[in-house]
Amino acid sequence: MKYIDEFRKRSAADGLIAKIKKIASKKVSLMEVCGTHTMAIFKYGIKNMLPERVNLISGPGCPVCVTPQIDIVRAIAISKLPNVMLASFGDMMRVPGGNTSLENEKAKGRDIRIVYSPLDSLDIAKKNKDKRVVFLGVGFETTSPSIAATILKAYDENINNLFFLSCHKLIPPTMKALLSLGEVRVDGFICPGHVSTLIGTIPYEFIAKDYNIPCVIAGFEPLDILQSILMLLEQINEGKALVKNQYTRCVKPEGNIKAMEILREVFEVSDSSWRGIGVIPKSGLKIREKYKNFDASAFEIEVEDIKEEEKGCICGNILRGINKPYDCKLFGKECTPLYPVGPCMVSTEGTCAAYYKYERRR
């Protein structure tokens, strides 16, 4: 299959690994900030192919994982309001929110529906005009333009019973926050391919310029990731810090201009809270005043104070790259994909889920 088989050739992988081993002259730590990269790295056993001097760290690249518990609690509270139907992507259903989850509330009879596109929520609203339909919007720059487009369509069609709870987040400000915290040594970033398809290469340039740390935008096949690691090591050895694009077949320097125009039309940048990190300036998206009638954050709900993490859960530290899942006393015991305690085990792109599925047996 074009663009698949040619990026999974063992002979090419062996060649890249040989080059990596040859130039990996000192210990370096490279962080991927994309959950899809995390899963691919574990699925293809890339960490085990690399020399010990090359340390891969999983960062906060899973939108489900970085959504703070309070946002889940708000969504659950909204689902309990009279005449409300809540729509969500399926990966949010099992994320704990206080002592319950969307999945548990659905089992109790709340009208909570799994959708595959924000446009599905628009169709639901049209068919249920006596209900307030609320879409739980979670995701990075990859998904937010499609939700913005849905709001524009609802605005044009004068749909007045559709609302959006925006929990969207932006990746570059988070990378800056991680570097500012200084908790983990990062010598290079493997930048997310999906997000970069939308935003392009320019938003990462401050990392190279201000922090002297190289970045490489990577695709998701094993050869993509190995080549990106090689490109980072070459820069580190040469003392360079540039933003390079390995994923040229999908990512343009300017990104997707039309999609970003739609996003900026509907959303404005705001401060946002991230699980395990806290409030990061200008890292979120809120609905603009022009489209405030679609903003579910105005709903009157009561939300009690909750702890960010369940007792013993270290998802916050894992998201910041401080700890690995094995460091958590709950991992693989009280916390499993079937009975998750924290979001890093819930999401299919979570670091704990990746370790449990692929590394635990190794």
Q: Calculate mean pLDDT across residues 284-307.
A: 90
**Tokens for 295?**
């903003």
pLDDT digits (tens, 9 = 90+) for 117-126: 999 999 999 9
pLDDT score for 308: 66
Q: What is the pLDDT of residue 35?
A: 93
Mean pLDDT of 78-99: 92
Position 144 scores a pLDDT of 96
- CATH number for the domain whose boundaries are 1-311: 3.40.50.11740
Average pLDDT estimate for 98-111: 93
How do residues 8-20 score in pLDDT, each as one tens digit?
888 899 999 999 9
Coil vs helix vs strand at 200: coil
Tokens of 321: 């790259």
pLDDT grade for 165, boundaries at 50, 70 and 90: very high
Q: What is the DSSP string of 57-99?
A: EE-S--HHHHS-HHHHHHHHHHHTSTTEEEEE-GGGTTS-BTT
Q: Are 360 and 332 in contact (CB under 8 A)?
A: yes
Residue with tokens 């006393």: 329
Q: Are strands 162-166 and 132-137 parallel, antiparallel or unpaired?
A: parallel
CB 136 within 8 A of CB 163: no
341 in Cβ contact with 26 (< 8 Å): no
Residues 6+ apart with CB under 8 A from 73: 97, 98, 303, 304, 306
Query: Which residues does 326 contact at the CB level (< 8 Å), separation at least 6?
Result: 355
Confidence of residue 362 (pLDDT cuts 50, 70, 90): low
Inter-residue contact 265 to 148 (CB < 8 Å): yes
Q: Is the pLDDT of residue 303 over 90?
A: no
Instruction: Render the burial of 62-100: b for 16+ CB within 10 Å, e for the rest.
Output: bbbbbbbbbbbbbbbbbbeeeebbbbbbebbbbbbbbee
Stated pTM of the model: 0.92
- Domain map (residue ranges) of the chain: 1-311, 312-359
Q: How many CA atoms lie within 13 A of 43 on its CB side?
A: 15
- % of residues, the chain, pLDDT over 90: 86
Give the pLDDT confidence of 17-75 residue by residue, as tens digits: 999 999 998 999 999 999 999 999 999 999 999 999 999 999 999 999 999 999 999 99
- Residue 91, token pair as written in the block: 């990966």
